[in-house]
Amino acid sequence: MNILLLGSGGREHALAWKMVKSHHCDQLFIAPGNAGTSAYGTNLAVSPTDFTALKTVCLDKKINMVVVGPEEPLVKGIYDFFQQDTQLQHINVVGPSAAGAQLEGSKAFSKKFMQRHGIPTAAYAEFTVSEYEEGKKYIQQHSLPIVLKADGLAAGKGVVIALSHTEALQAFEEMIIHKQFGEAGNKVVIEEFLKGIEVSVFALTDGEVYQVIGHAKDYKRIGEGETGLNTGGMGCVSPVPFMDASFMQKVEERIIRPTVNGLAQENINYHGFIFFGLMNVHGEPWVIEYNCRMGDPETEVVMPMLQTDIVALFAAMDNGTLIDANISFSEQSCATVMAVSGGYPGDYQKNISIHGLTEIVPDQSIIFHAGTKQTEHGIVTNGGRVLAVTSYGNNIPEAVATSKKVLEKISFEGIYYRKDIGFEFE
Ligand code: AMP
Ligand code: GLY
């Protein structure tokens, strides 16, 4: 079949890498893709949110399946757009309806959903601008730290963990009065801080049944030892040692199954990935957030760890056979280390030449491009997160060490990466 993949990051490079291994994949197109994805298919200069242009591509290229990488097209209703168009209805869109994407698109929606279905999550309250005074009172009597979240999509920046009431009140005012995150902050969720270890779990669901396709631990801060500003993710490891059978059973029974059942009960059409952002609090799983897509850089370890044909799984979601799928994982460990532009997550430059991309051992490491662009002068940087170097190893430290060796040979002006990915598992 012909497949169109939407997005341009490391996540999409990893999905493309995995999908072209499938004998079900004839031609792959990526809109817009990056310098890495062009090795696996044809990049098309079309925006993932330009649904009309995507329609033309689908008809021209005889696309049978659309795999949606980022959240924005999902929240904007790409699934529904395809369902409502008689020329596009037959296409298998991997991604939830706009209603389902609210799990990520609205923190207030997802918190209420979890409450309705008894899914463990931090206690919370939500406030709009007309409830500003009540919100301030709520903050003043809240235990510390206090977590504030802009309701809508804020490019991963809408969460503040305030260590004092003054800081929380300031953040609240910024979000709700000064519209720091625009409309995303029309509502603000204020919640309890959960102390524990974070882990991301990924499932594919057709809205009735699900399969867990992997998990990973992401390192979100820019600085070593998890210090400094939050980023999109500086590296990942998988499998995570505490994710044993007993913890996974709790995750499935208390979180994944009730989420999928809840969506079905509420007649919410969901046909895609669910990313469960969890906190392990003394051995008990709690939900920090849902996303309606794969994680980045989690995908850069989850796809290499997954041995099952991903395109066959996408097809199974469409023809009611997902329940019969046989999911298997590599026996090895995987780590990815993200190389970023100097200055990231603040301001950074683009169009810097990248050197040393070819010097890897193919069976051991994969260089996934995150923010890169092919130019007539070679491959250049095109984003904050530039490359995710994934490696296999007999254990996490070995996988991380191999990725770091590859990175020593790669250079671009300002390159930075964390050398302590997986530090707790050494
Ligand atoms: P989110 O955008 O919901 O993923 O939040 C960003 C990050 O903030 C998460 O990955 C956590 O590290 C942290 N976070 C969010 N909510 C909480 C919470 N209730 N307790 C502790 N940390 C949290
Ligand atoms: N790495 C976290 C995310 O994709 O949201």
| pLDDT value, residue 177 | 83
Tell whether ligand 1 has an atom less than 6 A from the beta carbon of residue 114.
Answer: no
Structure token pair of residue 380:
């250049």
Would you say 345 and 229 are in contact if contact means Cβ atoms under 8 Å apart? yes
Query: Is the model's pLDDT at 295 over the cut of 90?
Result: yes
Q: How confident is the model at residue 363 (pLDDT cuts 50, 70, 90)?
A: confident
- Residue with the smallest CA separation from ligand 2 atom 5 is 295
Would you say 206 and 271 are in contact if contact means Cβ atoms under 8 Å apart? yes
Query: Is the model's pLDDT at 119 over the cut of 80?
Result: yes
Look up residue 423 and give its DSSP letter. Answer: G
pLDDT, tens digit, 9 for 90 and up, residues 4-57: 999 999 999 999 999 999 999 999 999 999 999 999 999 999 999 999 999 999
| pLDDT value, residue 259 | 98
Cα–Cα nearest to 185, from 263, 264, 132, 247: 132
| pLDDT value, residue 382 | 96
Query: Is the model's pLDDT at 269 over the cut of 80?
Result: yes
Q: How confident is the model at residue 284 (pLDDT cuts 50, 70, 90)?
A: very high
- Residue with the smallest CA separation from ligand 1 atom 12 is 198
Q: Which residue has the higher pLDDT, 127 or 363?
A: 127
Query: Is the model's pLDDT at 164 over the cut of 70?
Result: yes
In angstroms, the CA 83 to CA 292 distance is 18
What topology is assigned to 2-88 in CATH?
Answer: Rossmann fold (3.40.50)
Q: Which residue has the higher pLDDT, 230 or 363?
A: 230
Tell whether ligand 1 has an atom less than 6 A from the beta carbon of residue 72.
Answer: no
In angstroms, how far is CA 32 from the centroid of its own chain?
18
Is domain 333-425 classified as CATH 3.40.50.150?
no
Tell whether ligand 1 has an atom less than 6 A from the beta carbon of residue 277.
Answer: yes
Tell whether ligand 1 has an atom less than 6 A from the beta carbon of residue 53.
Answer: no
Query: Is the model's pLDDT at 359 over the cut of 90?
Result: no
How far lies 312's CA from each of 32, 39, 263, in Å? Answer: 24, 22, 24
Q: Which residue has the higher pLDDT, 425 or 402?
A: 402
- Residue with the smallest CA separation from ligand 2 atom 3 is 295
Mean pLDDT for 375-395 is 96
Q: How confident is the model at residue 361 (pLDDT cuts 50, 70, 90)?
A: low
Structure token pair of residue 266:
């509420």
Tell whether ligand 2 has an atom less than 6 A from the beta carbon of residue 285.
Answer: no
Q: How confident is the model at residue 185 (pLDDT cuts 50, 70, 90)?
A: confident
Q: What percent of the chain has a predicted confidence (pLDDT) above 70?
A: 99
Does residue 345 have a cis peptide bond before it, meaning omega lies within 30 degrees of 0?
Answer: yes
Q: How confident is the model at residue 426 (pLDDT cuts 50, 70, 90)?
A: confident
> Which CATH number does the domain 197-324 belong to among 3.40.640.10, 2.60.40.10, 3.30.470.20, 3.30.70.260?
3.30.470.20
pLDDT, tens digit, 9 for 90 and up, residues 394-416: 999 999 999 999 999 999 999 99
In angstroms, how far is CA 53 from the centroid of its own chain?
25
Q: Which residue has the higher pLDDT, 242 or 284?
A: 284
Centre of ligand 1 to C-alpha 216, Å, is: 16
Look up residue 326 and give its DSSP letter. Answer: -
Mean pLDDT for 253-264 is 98
Q: How confident is the model at residue 155 (pLDDT cuts 50, 70, 90)?
A: confident
Confirm whether 2-88 and 123-191 share one CATH topology.
no
Query: Is the model's pLDDT at 157 over the cut of 80?
Result: no
| pLDDT value, residue 150 | 87
Cα–Cα nearest to 74, from 44, 112, 100, 53: 100
- Mean pLDDT of the residues in the chain: 95
- Residue with the smallest CA separation from ligand 1 atom 9 is 288
Q: Where are the domains of the chain?
A: 2-88, 123-191, 197-324, 333-425
Q: What percent of the chain has a predicted confidence (pLDDT) above 90?
A: 87
May I ask the CATH architecture of the domain 123-191? Answer: 2-Layer Sandwich (3.30)
Query: Is the model's pLDDT at 333 over the cut of 70?
Result: yes
